[in-house]
């Protein structure tokens, strides 16, 4: 055999070997999403599908699971009314944790069941509003917990990516706009090969290519004067819409705010860049309080836990999502707040 | 440009190979000039701001070397010595300014209790390597050991891209003759196959092994060093021990393989150092070309072992202190060098007492004692300050964690996944201690038999396999965020 044909043969044999090896390993299976529609305008997966997820090149945190009947991970099928609904993004979706270790899983145990979650990766406040507007009339939960993290505020005015919602402000009037999702046939093709799934889902090569093709990292919102005005308009609109939908059921609304874990974990200078924009955070807290919503701020809770146990609350530096410690602390805080509310309700004449 | 990046592998390497071999059909000199140009481009792509520094340093040293050799050949010793002194002053001055000025001024300020605002001069990449390479050249010119004075060959010898950033520290007598060998400029598929094997093995070590275990280092050295359990401190120290090992081993293999594709054989710089049974042997296996440089151009000129035991030990200590300082302007490197100087003194003294005979006990204890000593040394090497290093070493032997630490939800995994780290350490230890290295597997020096054997279909299959594996490893590296080689910092 000659040298050049040998190269082709060597390449094919190696790819076949890699495909066989990866088929035996916990490569991310990819979770198929359902096309979004005007009737259900938010990101959700195809219901009742089994999946395997693992993180990064080393297939870390491998976990199997099943999507619930509404197209959400780490949630029981939706049954009954009058329970608790946790709405959020990838932090609540928690592919990297078992159900029992998530906020909703722990609350489910603490409250004796009837806790559900509606969360998808990349969700922002506009998505949480759409989810609330869809599910509150159907589930009529007694409590709704909205998870809020820094990007929800810094990216408040960003155009929505496929499958998600965003806010637009036209002549001072905010509105929610949806960017429809259609599953690409290419994704179905990718799911047939372990090597392709590894490249696409574990290495996230498509994301890397689009980052490499763009001129550089997206400029962070600097919270300029125009931005402040627009964000305040949007947040006022958001809270008033939540108020409207929650009051018809009626549901008690809690906002669960993430802390700046990177700063907490850094024991000495150089301090990392703050996760939250202080001005945005203050604005959110002020408007939430103005609309009569309760906010659970996880920052002091995380600080206390770190000081005592020196125990990390995420998967950093690989992954900034909450680990089971942060979920447990959050569930305990929510539970305490619910108990206090219940006690106050019983004590009132 | 990093070896472990797509632009290097998909654009720079193929075009440089192509240009080098095509031009060689017309003229070897043209081919060398092209390789010199590509090497300068490689450096400029990285840091164009320091390109004039590199080129100026090469030009100045070449002129000084030429003048020095002429004076020497004419029997004029004093002007030759003066030229050597000027050359050394020039090189050490550059290195001192760019690498040590803040360290020196900061230390003086600390001693005198005054304030010092750092000048924050950015370290030109590879300066330690190209400076030492050229100091050796000037000393050899003075000793009349230099035989060749082609400007383009000298430029290529210093700037040759596989070694420019992180070594090996080349010696002119090993390199200059290779540039003019016609067979080095002839394209041979088997040679590419051999080079690709070294490159792929090195890339695997970097992307999977070194970068894989790296995540267990920072939580101990940067985050939790003030309060650590013994298990955490040992895990962090061992993780760094293997990270540095596989990182440097990876660079050495990749540089060797890349150069082999061009028909130029680099000296072996890394030879399974954790298999060493003594510190003396360790330094014959770790960064071999730096050890040789320190021996030939510092330890021996200081007097070596010629003036009695006391002077010998002093020379050893001084050589290792300066060797430590070569790695970086920080007291941690001085401490590391001092520690190794101490180890070498103990090792030589023990040999002096016991003679060269190896008892069973010495054989049995030599390896673990050497490895333990090296691990403790690496704590200083990695720590951000001597205080942090001492905190970690204290934790390694006594533990420094508070009462509640470890009693949270994650237990012993509170800082990082220690159980996972243990598996990594076990796997990496097994490879470092027991597996053959790339040179054992493929061969050392020029390998004409393998080049011939791999020049046909088998070689093609090897190249095809290496290409797929390399592309996969590069995809991992790029999507995760390309990490520099640790020795780039020195």
What radius of gyration, in Å, describes the C-alpha atoms of chain B? 24
- Identify the three-state secondary structure at position B257: helix
Q: Which helix (H) or strand (E) holds A144?
A: strand A143-148
Mean pLDDT of B170-188: 91
Question: What size, in residues, is chain A?
Answer: 349
Question: What is the per-residue pLDDT for B358?
Answer: 64
Range with the poorest average pLDDT among A168-172, B260-264, B388-392: A168-172
Q: Which residue among A14, A312, A317 places its CB closest to the CB of B464?
A: A14
Note the pLDDT of residue B119.
82
A8 contacts B405? CB cut-off 8 A: no
- The minimum CA-CA distance between B200 and chain A, rounded to whole Å, is 13
Q: What is the mean pLDDT of chain B?
A: 92
The pLDDT of residue B304 is above 90: no
Question: Which residues from chain B sit within 8 angstroms of residue A266, using beta carbons?
Answer: 223
Which of the residues of B are catalytic? 327
Put simply, whether the predicted model's pTM sits higher than 0.95 gets the answer: no
Q: Count of CB contacts below 8 A, A vs B?
A: 119
**Best mutation target, A2, A5, A6, to test chain B (most B CBs within 10 A):** A6
Decide if B233 contacts B396 (C-beta within 8 A): yes
Comparing A93-97, A120-124, B390-394, B444-448, the range with the smallest average pLDDT is B444-448
Per-residue model confidence as pLDDT tens digits over B330-375: 999 999 999 999 999 999 998 888 776 667 777 788 999 999 999 9
Give the pLDDT of residue B407.
85
Mean pLDDT in residue range B9-18: 97
Question: Testing the interface with A: which of B419, B421, B461 to mutate, by most A Cβ within 10 A?
Answer: B461
Alpha carbon A129 to chain centroid, angstroms: 14
Quote ipTM for the complex.
0.88
- Among all chains, which residue has been given the structure tokens 């130029």? B264
Average pLDDT over residues B238-263: 97
Beta strands A60-66 and A84-88 are unpaired
pLDDT means per 10 residues, chain A with 349 residues, are 91 98 96 93 96 94 94 93 94 96 97 95 96 94 96 94 93 92 90 96 93 64 69 95 90 95 77 86 94 95 93 86 96 94 74
Over A72-98, what HEC string results? CCCCCCCCCCCCEEEEECHHHHCCCCC
Residues of chain A with Cβ-Cβ distance to B465 below 8 Å are 10-11, 13-14
**Mutate: best of B228, B460, B482, partner A, most A CBs <10 A:** B460
Q: Report the residue from A14, A203, A267 with minimal CB separation from B476.
A: A203
**Residue in A110, A104, A149, A101 with CA at minimum distance from that of residue A324:** A101
What are all long-range contacts of B347-356, with beta carbons under 8 Å and residues at least 24 apart? B347/B278, B347/B279, B347/B280, B348/B280, B348/B312, B348/B313, B348/B316, B349/B309, B349/B313, B351/B280, B352/B309
Q: Is A222 helix (H, G, I), strand (E, B) or coil?
A: coil
Cis peptide, bond prior to residue A224, ω within 30 of zero: no
From B239, B316, B120, select the one nearest B486 (Cα to Cα): B239
Q: Do A2 and B456 touch (CB under 8 A)?
A: yes
Which tokens in the block code for residue B112?
Answer: 């005198």
* Distance in Å, alpha carbon of A163 to nearest chain B alpha carbon: 24
Instruction: Please say whether the beta carbons of A179 and A38 come within 8 A.
Output: no
Give me A140's structure tokens.
């009529």
Distance from CA of B222 to the nearest CA of A (A): 8
CA–CA gap between residue B373 and residue B243 (Å, rounded): 17
Q: What is the pLDDT of residue B113?
A: 87
B468 in contact with A, Cβ within 8 Å: yes
List, for residues B125-159, the tens digit of each pLDDT value: 889 999 999 999 999 999 988 877 789 999 999 99
Bridge partners, A33 (sequence order): A45
Question: What pLDDT score was predicted for residue A291?
Answer: 94
Q: Distance, in angstroms, between B192 CA and closest chain A CA?
A: 11
Q: Quick check: B276 and B282 in contact, CB under 8 A? A: yes
| Percentage, residues of chain B above pLDDT 90 | 75
pLDDT value, residue A273: 84
């Amino acid at each position: 055999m000659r040298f050049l044909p040998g190269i082709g043969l060597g390449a094919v044999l190696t790819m076949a070997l890699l495909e066989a090896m990866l088929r035996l390993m916990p490569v991310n299976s990819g979770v198929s999403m359902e096309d979004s529609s005007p009737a259900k305008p938010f990101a959700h997966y195809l219901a009742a599908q089994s999946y395997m997820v693992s993180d990064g090149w080393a297939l870390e945190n491998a976990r199997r699971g099943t999507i619930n009947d509404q197209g959400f991970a780490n949630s029981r099928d939706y049954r009954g009314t009058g329970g608790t609904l946790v709405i959020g993004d990838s932090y609540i979706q928690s592919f990297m944790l078992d159900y029992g270790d998530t906020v909703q899983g722990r609350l489910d145990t603490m409250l004796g069941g009837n806790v559900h979650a509606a969360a998808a990766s990349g969700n922002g406040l506009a998505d949480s509003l759409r989810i609330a507007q869809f599910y509150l009339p159907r589930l009529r939960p007694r409590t709704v917990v909205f998870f809020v993290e820094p990007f929800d505020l810094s990216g408040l005015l960003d155009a929505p990516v496929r499958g998600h919602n965003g806010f637009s402000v036209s002549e001072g009037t905010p509105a929610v706009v949806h960017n429809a999702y259609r599953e690409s046939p290419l994704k179905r093709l990718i799911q047939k090969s372990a090597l392709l799934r590894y490249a696409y889902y574990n290495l996230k090569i498509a994301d890397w290519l689009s980052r490499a093709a763009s001129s550089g990292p997206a400029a962070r919102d600097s919270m300029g004067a125009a931005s402040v005005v627009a964000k305040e308009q949007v947040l006022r609109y958001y809270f008033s819409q939540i108020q409207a939908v929650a009051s018809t059921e009626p549901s008690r609304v809690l906002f669960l705010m993430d802390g700046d874990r990177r700063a907490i974990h850094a024991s000495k200078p150089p301090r990392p860049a703050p996760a939250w924009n202080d001005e945005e955070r203050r604005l959110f807290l002020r408007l939430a309080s103005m609309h009569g919503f309760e906010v659970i701020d996880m920052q002091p809770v995380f600080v206390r836990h770190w000081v005592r146990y020196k125990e990390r609350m995420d998967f950093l530096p690989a992954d900034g999502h909450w680990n089971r410690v942060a979920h447990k602390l959050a569930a305990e805080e929510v539970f305490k707040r619910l108990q206090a509310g219940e006690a106050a309700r019983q004590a009132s004449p | 440009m990093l070896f472990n990046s797509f632009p290097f592998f998909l654009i720079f390497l193929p075009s440089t190979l192509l240009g080098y071999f095509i031009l060689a059909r017309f003229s070897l000199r043209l081919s060398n000039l092209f390789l010199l140009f590509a090497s300068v481009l490689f450096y400029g792509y990285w840091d164009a701001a320091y390109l004039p520094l590199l080129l100026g340093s090469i030009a100045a040293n070449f002129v000084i070397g030429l003048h020095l050799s002429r004076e020497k050949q004419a029997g004029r010793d004093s002007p030759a010595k003066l030229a050597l002194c000027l050359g050394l002053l020039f090189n050490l001055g550059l290195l001192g300014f760019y690498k040590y000025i803040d360290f020196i001024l900061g230390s003086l300020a600390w001693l005198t209790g005054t304030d010092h605002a750092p000048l924050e001069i950015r370290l030109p990449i590879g300066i330690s390597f190209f400076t030492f390479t050229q100091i050796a050249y000037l000393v050899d010119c003075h000793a009349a050991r230099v035989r060749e004075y082609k400007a383009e060959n000298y430029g290529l010898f210093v700037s040759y891209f596989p070694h420019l950033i992180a070594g090996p520290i080349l010696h002119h007598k090993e390199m200059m003759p290779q540039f003019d060998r016609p067979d080095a400029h002839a394209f041979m598929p088997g040679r590419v196959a051999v080079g690709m094997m070294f490159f792929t093995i090195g890339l695997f070590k970097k992307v999977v092994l070194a970068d894989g275990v790296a995540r267990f280092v920072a939580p101990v050295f940067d985050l939790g060093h003030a309060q650590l359990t013994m298990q955490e401190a040992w895990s962090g120290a061992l993780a760094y021990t293997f990270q540095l090992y596989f990182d440097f081993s990876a660079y050495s293999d990749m540089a060797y393989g890349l150069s082999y594709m061009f028909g130029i054989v680099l000296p072996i710089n890394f030879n399974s150092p954790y298999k060493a049974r003594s510190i003396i042997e360790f330094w014959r296996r770790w960064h071999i070309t730096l050890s040789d440089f320190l021996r030939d151009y510092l330890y021996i000129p200081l007097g070596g072992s010629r003036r009695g035991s006391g002077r010998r030990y002093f020379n050893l200590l001084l050589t290792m202190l300066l060797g430590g300082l070569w790695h970086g302007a920080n007291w941690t490197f001085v401490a590391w060098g001092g520690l190794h100087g101490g180890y070498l003194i103990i090792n030589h003294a023990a040999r002096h007492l016991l003679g060269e005979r190896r008892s069973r006990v010495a054989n049995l204890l030599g390896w673990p004692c050497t490895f333990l000593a090296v691990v403790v040394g690496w704590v200083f090497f990695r720590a951000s300050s001597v205080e942090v290093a001492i905190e970690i070493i204290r934790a390694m032997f006594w533990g420094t964690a508070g009462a509640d630490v470890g009693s949270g939800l994650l237990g012993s995994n509170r800082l990082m996944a220690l159980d996972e780290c243990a598996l990594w350490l076990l796997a990496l230890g097994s490879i470092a201690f027991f597996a053959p290295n790339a040179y054992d597997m493929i061969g050392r020096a020029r390998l004409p038999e393998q080049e011939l054997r791999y020049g046909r279909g088998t070689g093609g299959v090897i190249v095809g396999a290496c290409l797929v594996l390399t592309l996969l490893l590069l995809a991992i590296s790029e999507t995760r965020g390309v990490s520099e080689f640790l020795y780039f910092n020195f």
